[in-house]
Amino acid sequence: MRARFEITTRCNLNCLHCGAVQYKTANEWTTAEAVQALDDMIASGIDQVDFLGGEPFMRKDIVELCSHLDEKGISVSLSTNGLLLNEEIIDTLVNLNHLGLISFSIDGASKEVYETVRGENTYEKMLANLRALVSRKKETKSHFSVGLTCVVNGVNVSETDALVELASQVDLDNVSFIKMTWFGNAEKNKDILYVDPQTELVSYEKGICRLSRINRIRTMKGRNPIVFSLDSMPSVWKYYFIQKYPLVCQVGGKFQCQAGRGTFYVDASGVLYPCEAVKIYMDSVEAAIGKYEPMSLPEYTFEAVRNSESFTERVVHSCTRETLEVLS
């Protein structure tokens, strides 16, 4: 089972599309509370942990938490903008035995587009840290993956193929494109960021076509292909791309929603949800099936929350992102 932790809402950036700004909290876990909650979830069967933000490396203890999980044999993944990495942090990360993935948020292949989304004087630093991480990974012969994640929007929609090319040049392991979620800064900047679904679909396919050509060359040279993850796409798009590009596209699990069954989401204040979409579209959820009673870890145990009526009701109603978007 997998737990996705919004370990902090703090960030060193203020991106055009950031949703975390809508959920700022002053009640983040202490290190002791985080360890207690994590250990409780592990005892209940959680064996994979994803740290999200905000920016996870805003927490001074994030490497300590990763090391704690590593000692317990738990697979750890991190989503980061990469700007706060340094030599010491990179050395610690590459020596973890159970690190699964470090994914860099890269919303533009060119400096102009990237910095339009993420702010000035960020592109070179991000790229330098990304290259340093990949280099140390190779030196230490570590087995974790390094990838890039791009939230496709009106600013970068023309650069999906260039982002794939960048991934190849830096020698990344996977690429993932994500649909925009309209809350926080994204809602305020919708006139800049919006792209119609057909254009977005074409943009995704342009990136996949480029990757298909790149992977043919990599295979001829005896190198591993770059994986294109479809996990964050609408199901109808997943079927389309898997059928058309079966050797390129990968899905991390079944199409059936695993929210509250195989995956869980914990926000920065410790409240457990079946998935992130339930939190994002809470108004629509409550209008449809009643008020959600938030129960925070570690005040309550994972099993107590998981078995609560309020939590299980949302699991039964299968509140997938697609369902919630219809409700909202």
* pLDDT at residue 21, rounded to an integer: 75
Cis before 298 (ω within 30)? yes
Find out whether 209 and 249 touch, Cβ atoms under 8 Å: no
* pLDDT at residue 228, rounded to an integer: 86
DSSP state of 147: E
14-67 residue pLDDT tens = 999 988 777 777 788 999 999 999 999 999 999 999 999 899 999 999 999 999
* pLDDT at residue 328, rounded to an integer: 40
Ordered by start, the domain boundaries in the chain are 2-255
DSSP state of 207: H
Backbone angles phi, psi at 277, to 5 degrees: -60, -35
Question: What per-residue string of b and e applies to 8-21 under the rule 16 or more CB within 10 Å gives b?
Answer: bbbbeeebbbbbbb
CA-to-CA distance for 43 and 35, rounded, in angstroms?
Answer: 12
| CATH pick for 2-255 out of 3.20.20.70, 3.40.50.360, 1.10.510.10, 2.40.33.10 | 3.20.20.70
CA dist list (Å): 276 to 153, 221, 250, 268: 20, 40, 22, 12
Q: Which residues in the chain come in under a pLDDT of 70? A: 231, 247, 249-257, 316-328
CA-to-CA distance for 278 and 313, rounded, in angstroms?
Answer: 12
* Spatial CA neighbour of 136 closest among 90, 177, 171, 175: 90
* pLDDT at residue 130, rounded to an integer: 98
